[in-house]
Structure 1
Amino acid sequence: MRVLVVYATTEGQTRKIAGRIAARVAETGHTPTTADATEAGPAHDPALFDAAFLAGSLHAGRYQAALVDYARRHAAALNARPSAFVSVSLSAAGDDPEDWSGLARCVEAFGRETGWTAMRLHHAAGAFRFTRYDFLKRWAMKYIAHRRGQAVDTHADTEYTDWPALDAFVDETLAAAGKGA
């Protein structure tokens, strides 16, 4: 099976997640093609693939504009084949019901805005990338961590992604795609 993985990233965690998806696709005997949504061209048309994964991260309640644009332009092809969405956010690292209902609203808004409804959805926890933040972003992210009761080292990056859960999601998605679901 030929599998497309398109992602958009801000600090790099979603790129890392997309790389893991592609690696898992390859490990299961399928052929992955990975593209950054900002660089996706005609060779990354979902109509050329048997299945597709899109991954994007939430920042201030929105996904990257390049991913929104890609999903909107290719909604018909994405809806016509097995497809999955990996939504990356720090909110997915916790169990606050308000955070999770906010995540659901963001995914619903993404679907309305793009016209694409993924066959499967996975919320992946992101990362604090303090080594990449400027002063203002570092301060804002430290405040967010404090509000959540998380102690963070602002001189190091902290990753929350559950890699085994992501692998299981990829495996389940590929199995469902293989059954024509």
Structure 2
Amino acid sequence: MSILLVYATVEGQTGKVADAVQEQLRTMGCEFEVMNTAEKTAPVTFKGVDKVILAAPVHERRHPETFEVFLTAHRQELQKCETLLLSVSLSAAFPEGMEEAKEYVTELKMRTELDPSAEVLVAGAVRSRHYDYYATQVLRHVVLRDQDYNPAVDEHEFTDWEALAIEVAKFTGADERVS
């Protein structure tokens, strides 16, 4: 099976997610290619690709522009493959944010006219070193909705790596047990 992993990252967490997926695919013995949509002129081919894993973060209710442009430009090729969308957001870290995290995916699908075969909402991370005072306040009072976590104090990763590995294994059809 040949897999194309396409991702975008802003603060690094989705890059970390892409790295974890690559390691899992390598361990499972899958053939795969990786593309970061920030590399706008990188050649991409869908020849021989059976499945595509798409991973991108959400910031201010949107996935990165380069990611959305890629999905739109390659919509026809993507629709011929099984696709798994990994939408990474802080909203997905909390039960009360899941509905909003689903809205991000709905909005992405409306803008790109791409309907992935499967979707997984992945909890993101707080990278405090990237935020100014205003961004920290928005994060704390709007995004995290006064959760018992202070983003001004330190960074925190909410990603459930085991759950992510299980979803990737399901999508790829791997018989391996993920522990």
TM over 0.5: yes
Identity score, percent: 26
- Residues 9-88 of structure 1 mapped to structure 2, 5 A cutoff: 9-41=9-41, 43-88=43-88
Distance (whole Å) between structure 1 residues aligned to residue 142 and residue 18 of structure 2: 25
Shift of 1:153: 5.1
Taking the aligned partners of 2:9 and 2:144, their CA distance within structure 1 comes to 24
CA distance in structure 1 between the partners assigned to 2:124 and 2:86 by the alignment:
11
1:169 CA drift (Å): 0.6
What's the RMSD between the two structures over aligned residues?
1.9
CA distance in 2, matches of 1:91, 1:147: 9
Shift in CA distance, 94/129, structure 1 to aligned 2, threshold 3 Å: same
Q: Which runs of 5+ in 2 are unaligned?
A: 175-179
Query: TM-score of the superposition, structure 1-length normalised?
Result: 0.87
SS in 1 for 2:38: coil
- Give a deviation string over 1:5-40, Cα, whole Å, max 9, x none: 111111110111011111111111102222211215
For residues 55 and 17 of structure 1, what CA distance do their matches in structure 2 show? 8
Amino acid corresponding to residue 116 of structure 2 in structure 1? A
2:168 maps to which residue?
Answer: 170
Q: Distance in 1 between matches of 2:146 and 2:47?
A: 42
Question: Residue in 1 aligned with 2:157?
Answer: 159
SS at match of 2:148: coil
Q: Note the C-alpha offset of 1:47.
A: 4.2
Aligned structure 1 segments of 4 or more residues deviating by more than 4 angstroms: none
Distance 2:172 2:40 in 1: 22
Query: 2:130 — aligned with what?
Result: 132
The TM-score, its normalising length taken from structure 2, stands at 0.88
CA offset digits 1:59-99 (Å, max 9, x no partner):
12111100000000111111101111000011111111xx3
Contact 2:90 2:143 in 1 (8 A): no
Change (3 A) 1:122 1:14: same
Deviates more, 1:132-141 or 1:159-168: 132-141
Alignment check: 8 A CA contact 1:131 1:155 kept: no
Aligned-partner residue type, residue 130 of structure 1: S
Aligned partner letter, 1:13? Q
Aligned to 1:6: 6
Instruction: Looking at secondary structure, tell me which structure has more helix per residue.
Output: 1
